[in-house]
Amino acid sequence: MVPQSQSSSLQRLNQVEQRIVRVVHLAGAVMEELGNSQGPRADAVAAHCREFMLAIKITT
């Protein structure tokens, strides 16, 4: 059986990993939009950037 402290640490690590994946995904979406051959859509970039900033905000 996994000790409570180790289980808690693994859960926290999993949460951090999920946040990192989400932030990288959002950054990629912004880069794709900026590379759009028709030009970036300002509303899409703003929405992705807003979500990015919320995703990287540290919560306790």
pLDDT given for residue 60 in this prediction: 47
Does residue 45 contact residue 30 with C-beta atoms inside 8 Å?
Answer: yes
- Rg for the chain (alpha carbons), in Å? 16
Query: Containing domain of residue 17, as a range?
Result: 4-56
> How far apart, in Å, are the Cα atoms of 45 and each of 1, 7, 18, 19?
46, 38, 22, 19
In the three-class reduction of DSSP (H, G, I as helix; E, B as strand; rest coil), residue 38 is classed as coil
Tally of domains in the chain: 1
Helix 42-56 vs helix 4-34: crossing angle, to nearest 10: 160
- Confidence category of residue 12, pLDDT binned at 50, 70, 90: very high
Q: Is the pLDDT of residue 21 over 50?
A: yes
Query: Model-level pTM?
Result: 0.73
Position 41 pLDDT exceeds 90: yes
Question: What's the rounded mean pLDDT across residues 14-40?
Answer: 93
Beta-carbon neighbour count of residue 14 at 10 Å?
A: 10
